[in-house]
Chains A and B, each alone.
Chain A
Amino acid sequence: MNWALAIPEIVLSVCGMGILIVGVLRRQDSTFLCSMLTLGAFLLAAILSVSTVQGIGYHGQFVIDPFSGFVKLLIIAGAALCLILALDYNRKQRISRFEFPVLMLFSVVGMMVMASASNLMTLYLGLELQSLALYVLAAFARDDVRSSEAGLKYFVLSALATGLLLYGISLVYGFAGTMDFAQIARAASDPVHVSPGLVVGIVFVLVGLAFKISAVPFHMWTPDVYEGAPTPVTLFFGTSPKVAAIAVMVRVMVHPFGHLTDQWHTLIVIVSIASMIWGAVAAIGQANIKRMMAFSAIGHMGYALIGLAAGTAVGIRGLLVYMVIYVFMTAGAFACITAMRRNGRSVEMISDLNGLARNDPALAGAMAVAMFSLAGIPILSGFFAKLYIFLAAVQAGMWTLAIIGVLTSVVGAFYYLRVIKVMYFDAPAEQFDARSPSLTFVAAVTTLFTTFFFLFPAPVVGAAQAAAQALFG
């Protein structure tokens, strides 16, 4: 048994437990120390993820391939950005506790397991590990009613979704006789003789995962949780778990159910279209910027799903590139949202941004770049994300998806541009509190990535190409 395949996860788990012990044993507040140690552990895990040999281990339950490596790196990067943002935010909100980085760390372990799952059981295990940590994180500001409500809502609805997923897994197991991806693929290799039970199972699995990426109609939790959770946690919800969930969805749909593409692809199309339209339209009415970002996330997941709906290596490549760009531009936007503090209190209405360009041109600039990019304006990275996706859709002959995608981007541009208009053309409101260096760091890194992606797209696109090829073998 090649146990070394899971070295990054093992190391990260051990580190997590070690950091937990450090946090508990030290008498003084050790949040900063634990956060730094967690960041170190992330770095270590990232290096190990890149350098681990490839192969299948643990009796076919665990797979390391370029796809899993790509996804793991992205998950870790997203988590690290959130953690850096949280350092200062949590202290100011007086919710600074050392458990925060540890919870994040274990959540990341769960996501990494998801990314490497090659068995429905492994998948479930990873999913549950990350979800358990997320429930606590959502309610981390436990004295805040909205945060508690967010945690509770996410817990209940997630439990429902997990139930559906488990039910789907059991149906698949019952009708295919196995939970191993390769063997399911063999069982489904003759689409004519696939039983309806297996098909229903696939739908339920899909639904369970669609909940995690907040695709319509399983998105209802998203605005409430985004609004209620502490801002860095909101960002975390928006990045790593979505990457992990969509990666798992891609792997499950392409690998074990790959022979049934013609059948599930319609469902993905429907979910994708519904998400794009819902995300674009619903965001218009929002006054709270975190809620707006929730709908924005729903819309963006719709775009990413176009890549899966295309069902080709080019499509998956587009999806992976989309996720990379999405993580960075969302992080940029949330870095700016985190900076929205006035007199020691966090504010989150769009109108609070009035005239920001005059009070803090740098922050307004970063926010404007993030918004333009989210809207898909050339030459920012968000444009290329959409370009690769639409390209794949057109190549696969899915004109409807591409056209709806373009149209909803136009509608979506409205609310992104509104933020910019508020910042640049409205009368200045009161100034925000001074920004912390960590926040400025995140905003700068993400803004630079978003702005200059067009100069060096090759590494990202090349890695995504390799990852997509690995899935299609």
Chain B
Amino acid sequence: MIYAVAVFAPLLGAIVSGLLGRSIGDRAAEAVSILVMVVAAICGVTSFIWIGFLHEPDGTVDIGSWVVSGSFRTSWTLRYDTLSAVMVGMVTFVSTLIHIYSVGYMEHDAFPRYRFFAYLNLFTFAMLMLVTSDNLLQLFFGWEGVGLASYLLIGYWYDRPSANAAAIKAMMVNRVADLPFAVGIALVFLTFGSIEFPIVFAGIQQHMNDMYHVLGSDWRAYEVIGFLLFIGAMGKSAQIFLHTWLPDAMEGPTPVSALIHAATMVTAGVFLMARMSPIMSYAPGALTFVTIIGGTTSLFAATIGCTQFDIKKVIAYSTCSQLGYMFTAAGVAVYQASIFHLFCHAFFKALLFLGAGAVIHAVSGEQDMRKMGGLWKKIPITYTVMWVGSLALAGIFPFAGYYSKDAILEAAYSAGGVGYYGFWCGLIAAGLTAFYSWRVIIMTFHGPSRMDHHVEEHVHESPWVMMGPCIVLAIGALIAGFTLRHEFIGEGWPEFWRDSIVITASNHVLANMEELPGWVGIAPTLVGLLGIATAYTFYMFVPSLPGRMASMFRPIYLLFYNKWYFDEIYDALFVRPGFWIARTFWQVGDVTLINGVPDGMAALTADGARGISKVQTGSLAVYAFVMLIGVVVLVALYLLIR
């Protein structure tokens, strides 16, 4: 089945280019990994079309048994339903473009490139395993796989201390989130007696009223499981409190950022919510929490994005913010909207990163926007695709973001309750998003050049191997919204999604979206346009205004600029005490005790050996004397013991 080919082709590529790359050379390794990705993309997109539009029935692909231990059974199985196929199609397609782009971007890299392409393949494969798994353990395998691959890729330039630190940080933060996730999986097994999705989802009604008794209080099983799974999702999808790794992950090469932010890794958390929708839908408490976190993240990350100067960091925070939108939608149980936004976001976020990569490529590796400016005439294609990406991100008609973001905000509003919180956060964030997007465009492409002479001479449009993928993605960002909205969130959704997304019978959010007050539908666009206008005012017409604003609202500016001091707070709360404890263990436990005791013992033993050698004189009389002393001692002892 071509579905399995789509999943396993990248693995083949990773093996070939990773293990044989040294012998077959960089060019051949690149060719192999791109070839397998093209094959995977063709298969993946075909599968998506078959199931989504030609209504092929759901199915599974059995690979083999994995763990059989008592009543615990898990097999390697690929799940083929709309949700998985959407993800497979999107991941393979976007990832293929990023692979092709990387050929141009990594051209001048000093390291052997086969390693990079092997990691990219591995990353894609892990993500595909994650989205196609038919049980939670295989999902966890993919989950950890993307964690591993992201570690390898963020720290790809391993001779840079900052890259290593960022890679370790990504690993550590994800580890913090993985523990609750693993506990959640264990609780699923405890409750349902299985972690296979078909069995778990079939048992939903049966275990509806299960309770856990913890410390004298009762907790609904679904709430606890939902909450724990969401903590895991927070780590992977960089939601507030566990988001700190994402901006640092910019230390990796730009295509890696694109891959992490668009197709793989960060979308895993959103996917998990949709995949576990049968359980999540019956955990209203956990969903409320999801909405609050999602809404807060969308606003919070947008505020930071407005003040950063590193072009990639701005886009990174925008990802954080957009993920917040997706969780807001998931929190009001409109998983269709969150997956729709995920799908559209993949196109324009990959586009923005690849465009930013082209900019960085053009200005000889510079990432600070204060040292750019006036580039638009020199790199017009890059300029155009950045415009397209920004329009889509800001949610301007008719770009993809317009449909998906509006859908989320409308869903949040129509859900009511905590949904209003999500709505207002999202609405403000939409304005900020437009503002910082045009701040990037204006600072980078307009105004006087702030580059040094040497760099300015070298500014050039990127080669076609880089611009080609950008153009394809630009087209995607333009059309993905209005071509797919009918199936994803419109009236066609029941036959499109079928059983892959479950919402409760009482959930009419999607239907109610049509009957909202008119201003709700228009507000996001208006706010977006306002944001764009503000950006023009600030950075093009009155360039002195940002500085004045910054000094007028200095505390707030510093708060935003320093990313709400999360890194500093975590440093003081966790990192420093952690180091202190580690140092204490090291100095007291290791150096003093673990080294000291054996050293002392060894010294004692050596002394003993010398002492004993002295007794062993060779004199017969001494020997006989020792024997007799021994007899006396033993007899005396024996008589005493009796």
Q: Name A residues whose Cβ lies closer than 8 Å to a Cβ of B.
A: 153, 156-157, 160-161, 164, 196, 199-200, 202-204, 206-207, 211, 216-218, 220-221, 223-224, 263-264, 266-267, 270-271, 278, 280-285, 411, 414
Contact = CB atoms under 8 A, between A and B. Distances in A.
A267 B620 CA distance: 25
Contacts of A217: 626-627, 629-630, 633
Nearest to A295: B612
A281 B609 contact: yes
A36 to B, nearest CB: 38
B626 A267 contact: no
A203 B635 contact: yes
Interface in B605-619: 605-606, 608-610, 612-613, 616, 618
B193 to A, nearest CB: 39
B637 interface: yes
Given A204-B631, A411-B605, A220 B623 contact: yes
14 contacts: A157-B624, A160-B627, A200-B638, A211-B627, A217-B630, A263-B641, A263-B642, A271-B634, A281-B605, A281-B608, A281-B609, A282-B612, A284-B609, A285-B613
A263 B634 CA distance: 12
A164 B631 contact: yes
A220 B641 contact: no
Interface secondary structure of A, over-half rule: helix
Contacts of B631: 164, 203-204, 207
A220 B637 contact: no
B630 to A, nearest CB: 4
Contacts of B605: 280-281, 284, 411, 414
B120 to A, nearest CB: 43
Interface size class of B (residues with CB under 8 A): 20 to 34
Contacts of A207: 627, 630-631, 634
Given A156-B624, A281-B605, A266 B641 contact: yes
Nearest to B623: A220
A419 B407 CA distance: 77
Interface string B528-572: 000000000000000000000000000000000000000000000
Nearest to A202: B638
Given A196-B639, A263-B638, A285 B627 contact: no
Contact of A281 (B612, B622, B637): B612
B623 A270 contact: no
Nearest to B621: A156
Nearest to B631: A207
Nearest to A206: B634
Interface in B580-626: 601, 605-606, 608-610, 612-613, 616, 618, 620, 622-624, 626
Nearest to B635: A203
Contacts of B612: 278, 281-282, 285
**Which of B601, B622, B626, B634 counts the most chain A CB atoms within 10 A?**
B634
Contacts of B641: 263, 266
A156 B620 contact: yes
The 6 A-B pairs at the shortest CB distance, nearest first, are namely A217-B630, A220-B623, A285-B609, A284-B609, A282-B612, A281-B608
Contacts of A220: 616, 622-623, 626-627
Contact of A160 (B616, B624, B639): B624
A153 to B, nearest CB: 6
B639 A200 contact: yes
Interface centre among A156, A196, A220, A411 (most CB of B within 10 A): A220
A199 B635 CA distance: 9
Given A278-B612, A411-B605, A199 B642 contact: yes
Nearest to A210: B630
Chain A CB within 10 Å, residue with most, of B608, B620, B631, B642: B631
B622 A199 contact: no
A160 B631 CA distance: 12
A283 B633 CA distance: 25
B316 to A, nearest CB: 51
Nearest to A153: B620
Contacts of A264: 638
Nearest to B625: A220
A280 B601 CA distance: 13
A267 B623 contact: no
Contact of A282 (B616, B624, B630): B616
Nearest to B601: A411
Contacts of B613: 282, 285
Nearest to A260: B642
Contact of A218 (B609, B616, B627, B635): B627
A266 B609 contact: no
A157 B639 contact: no
A221 B630 CA distance: 14
Contacts of B610: 285
A400 to B, nearest CB: 16
Given A161-B627, A284-B605, A285-B609, A224 B639 contact: no
Contacts of A266: 637-638, 641
Q: Which of A196, A280, A284 has the most CB of B within 10 A?
A: A284
Contacts of A160: 624, 627
A269 B639 CA distance: 16
A160 B605 CA distance: 31
Contacts of B609: 281-285
A282 B606 CA distance: 9
Nearest to A159: B624
Which among A216, A263, A281, A283 has the highest number of chain B CB atoms within 10 Å?
A: A281
B454 to A, nearest CB: 55
B616 A223 contact: yes
Contacts of B608: 281-282
Nearest to B636: A203
Contacts of A267: 634, 637-638
Contacts of B622: 220
Nearest to A164: B631
A211 B601 CA distance: 30
Contacts of B626: 217, 220
Contacts of B630: 207, 216-218
B267 to A, nearest CB: 48
Given A206-B634, A281-B609, A221 B623 contact: yes
A240 B612 CA distance: 27
A85 B68 CA distance: 55
Contacts of A203: 631, 634-635, 638
Contacts of B642: 196, 199, 263
Contacts of A221: 623
Contacts of A283: 609
Contacts of B618: 224
A161 B613 CA distance: 23
Contacts of A281: 605, 608-609, 612
